[in-house]
Structure 1
Amino acid sequence: MLTRFNTAVAHSDFGRLLLRLTFGILMLFHGVSKAQHGIGWISAMLDAKGIPGFIAYGVFIGEIVAPILIIIGVLTRPAALVYAFNLLVATLLVGMGRFFSLTDVGAWALETEALYFFGGLSIMFLGAGRYALGANSRWS
């Protein structure tokens, strides 16, 4: 029975597609919000840390361009690396004070950031799979 189940659900390319769609779409919401409401607060945060504020525009690459590439499966591995790097920078900017903290329900305070970061790394290591615009090419 277990063998039949394993055979029935053994669709690694569909799993890759589901992973790409999930993480790509969820991050795209963050990017669209920043496009609608601006990134002045990120720029101000960078300025306060002595980092040039124009670097804040990189968030559009990490939260709009990279997720779109991940969703469609073109340049998936490099886009996933950019995606993960974006999460790392965001966590370093706003989350480090919560590194050793738990929420009221016992979750790690940086749980969401870690989920996105490791999701990006997983996509980078797995690649796009067969269900992608760049499938079976160097562009996937």
Structure 2
Amino acid sequence: MVNNPDIGKLVLRLTLGLLMLLHGISKLQHGVGWISGELASHNLPGFLAYGVFIGEIIAPLMVILGVHTRIGAVLIAGNMLVAIVLVHMGEVFALSKTGGWALELQGFFLFSAVAVFFLGAGKYAIRK
């Protein structure tokens, strides 16, 4: 049986980072206006919407490359907590139409980021 935790960490980092980065690229292409609206509905300044680029572009690149990986993971986890509070609070205890948790995607990003934080980058990283 093959036991290589560093390959496992790499797979987890690449999966989390690439899937989150795609969300960030979409926001680069389509803007963050709707996030500004969500922030305004919570009496928060709209310019904070640009923080999503930290959580969905910069942090995923940090995780993918293995550059200050734990910091990148914390930024992704924080980004997901803000997203859940701003947009998805009503779904925290809900099931989807197919029977899964309504927040499966958000949960994946949040808990994978927490796992990367605790596991670290592994040896296949630029800088741990």
TM-score scaled by length of structure 2: 0.98
Looking at structure 2, the residues matched to 48 and 96 of structure 1 have their Cα atoms a distance apart, in angstroms, of 14
- Share of identical aligned residues, percent? 52
Find out whether 1:34 has 2:11 as its counterpart.
no
Superposed displacement of residue 107, structure 1: 0.5
In structure 2, the partner of 1:137 is none
Q: Select 1:122's aligned residue among 102, 115, 121.
A: 115
Spell out the pairing of 1:85-124 with structure 2 (5 A cutoff).
85-124=78-117
Q: Which runs of 5+ in 1 are unaligned?
A: 135-139
Q: How many residues align?
A: 128
Q: In the alignment, does 2:9 pair up with 1:25?
A: no
Partner SS for 1:108: coil
Structure 2 counterpart of 1:101, one-letter code: A
Superposed CA RMSD in Å reads 0.7
User: Which of the residues 49, 53, 78 maps onto 2:42?
Assistant: 49
1:56-106 Cα deviation digits (max 9, x unpaired)? 110000000000000000000011001101001001111111112111211
Q: TM-score, normalised by structure 1?
A: 0.89
Structure 2 stretches of 5 or more lacking a match?
none
- What SS does the corresponding residue of 2:122 show, helix, strand or coil? coil
